[in-house]
Amino acid sequence: MAYTIKKATEIADKIFEVWIDAPHVAHNACAGQFVVIRTDESGERIPLTISATDGDLVRIVFMAVGKTTTQLSDLVSGDTIQDIAGPLGQPSEVKRWGRCVVIGGGVGIACLPILARELKAIGNEVIGIIGARNETLLLLEDELSAACDELVICTDDGSKGFHGFPADILKQKLEEKTIDAVWIIGPAIMMKITSIATLPKKVKTFVSLNPIMVDGTGMCGSCRVTIGGETKFACVDGPEFDAHLVDWDGLMQRQRIYPEQERQSLELYHEHKCRCGEKHE
Ligand SMILES: Cc1cc2nc3c(=O)[nH]c(=O)nc-3n(C[C@H](O)[C@H](O)[C@H](O)COP(=O)(O)OP(=O)(O)OC[C@H]3O[C@@H](n4cnc5c(N)ncnc54)[C@H](O)[C@@H]3O)c2cc1C
Ligand code: FES
């Protein structure tokens, strides 16, 4: 069965928003969950977070970093993809916490709208903090402003909003107010460093881990991570875990095990595109 792309837009530099007609996912998705996508029959499976739903449609937001995300970024409205499996993984721990902070770094910002809306819908106060290297990499600002009670924008180079990192704003908020729960979603190094801020006050802090995943159903073991000394499979036990229990060095090592194969795969895709003059099949 093929799934139709209803809308595809580049929303920031190399970052794409794609709406896919997939009722089985859209009608069952919760914040924190993800899908595994295969663009065509011979394509690899890649996990992408469910960023929003609207009726039968599911939104994914991704950065074109390698072969499959580049292939996805070449698709336009009306094209189809081979599979979209999901929703997968455990939903975020959405309950009445009180005051929550949701933090997104880079493309991780895309995971926040669905989470902020779910937290707010049951009466939490939600403070959003988003950060990117520069203004051209910021995304979904209007949507997040509407979903959060307060939204703080940060850029590493000061081109928009606060000149600095989300961790600086988080520290400030922790000084000013009682914070009951924090979510941090972004690159592993950003999640590791930012989550240190909540340690002194022992604020419950969730991070969404992104190890390499293959089947997404707990069978292949490729997504194993160490949490509080125990082995967990991020695809079925997570992807969200207590930030203060994560073995960050182990995660980051495992993310970098296939760089040569990833480089070759992207090169072959570009060569094929040049030869056939258009999209890869
Ligand atoms: C639960 C989860 C949710 C994710 N959500 C998003 C999202 O919403 N938006 C987004 O841009 N990215 C997301 N990612 C990362 C995304 O899956 C990778 O960027 C994508 O797989 C890269 O594939 P590629 O072929 O384009 O690049 P490659 O050149 O194959 O890889 C580039 C880098 O992406 C990572 N990667 C590669 N293959 C996989 C894989 N099968 N599983 C996980 N990581 C991989 C590796 O770190 C690798 O170094 C998520 C990852 C996980 C685990
Ligand atoms: S992706 Fe295979 S066990 Fe998690």
* Per-domain boundaries in the chain: 3-90+258-276, 101-201
- Model confidence at 256: pLDDT above 90: no
User: Ligand 1 centroid to 212 CA: how many Å?
Assistant: 7
- The per-residue pLDDT for range 183-205, each reduced to its tens digit, is 999 999 999 999 999 999 999 99
- Model confidence at 7: pLDDT above 60: yes
Residues 6+ apart with CB under 8 A from 243: 184, 191, 195, 198, 205, 206, 207
CATH 3.40.190.80 fits 101-201, yes or no: no
**Mean pLDDT, residues 225-230:** 96
User: Ligand 1 centroid to 177 CA: how many Å?
Assistant: 35
- Model confidence at 275: pLDDT above 70: no
| Candidate of 33, 38, 220 to mutate for ligand 2, largest count of ligand atoms within 8 Å of Cβ | 220
Which pLDDT score is estimated for 254? 79
> Is the pTM higher than 0.75?
yes
255-258 long-range contacts (CB < 8 A, ≥24 apart) are 255/188, 255/210, 255/211, 255/212, 257/212, 258/212
User: Ligand 1 centroid to 151 CA: how many Å?
Assistant: 27
Amino acid sitting at position 248: W
Q: For residue 70, what pLDDT band results from cuts at 50, 70 and 90?
A: very high
User: Ligand 2 centroid to 144 CA: how many Å?
Assistant: 31
Shared fold status for 3-90+258-276 and 101-201: no
- Bond before 239 cis per omega within 30 degrees: yes
The pocket around ligand 1, CB under 6 angstroms, is made up of 34, 46-49, 61-63, 65-69, 107, 110, 210-213, 239, 255, 262, 266
Measured by CA distance, the residue closest to atom 30 of ligand 1 is: 262
- Model confidence at 117: pLDDT above 60: yes
User: Ligand 2 centroid to 212 CA: how many Å?
Assistant: 8
- Model confidence at 105: pLDDT above 70: yes
Q: For residue 259, what pLDDT band results from cuts at 50, 70 and 90?
A: low
Which pLDDT score is estimated for 42? 85
For residue 268, the tally of other CB atoms under 10 A from its CB is: 12
The pocket around ligand 2, CB under 6 angstroms, is made up of 213-216, 218-223, 233, 235
Closest ligand 1 atom to residue 88 Cα is: 1
For residues 113 and 144, the answer to whether their CB atoms sit within 8 Å is yes
- Model confidence at 178: pLDDT above 80: yes
Q: Which CATH number fits domain 3-90+258-276: 2.10.69.10, 3.10.580.10, 3.60.110.10, 2.40.30.10?
A: 2.40.30.10
Q: For residue 56, what pLDDT band results from cuts at 50, 70 and 90?
A: very high
Which pLDDT score is estimated for 277? 57
Closest ligand 2 atom to residue 220 Cα is: 2
Q: For residue 1, what pLDDT band results from cuts at 50, 70 and 90?
A: confident
For residues 251 and 211, the answer to whether their CB atoms sit within 8 Å is yes
- Model confidence at 179: pLDDT above 60: yes
Which pLDDT score is estimated for 278? 53
- Model confidence at 269: pLDDT above 80: no
Q: 215, 197, 189, 236: which is closest to 89 by C-alpha?
A: 236
Which pLDDT score is estimated for 157? 96
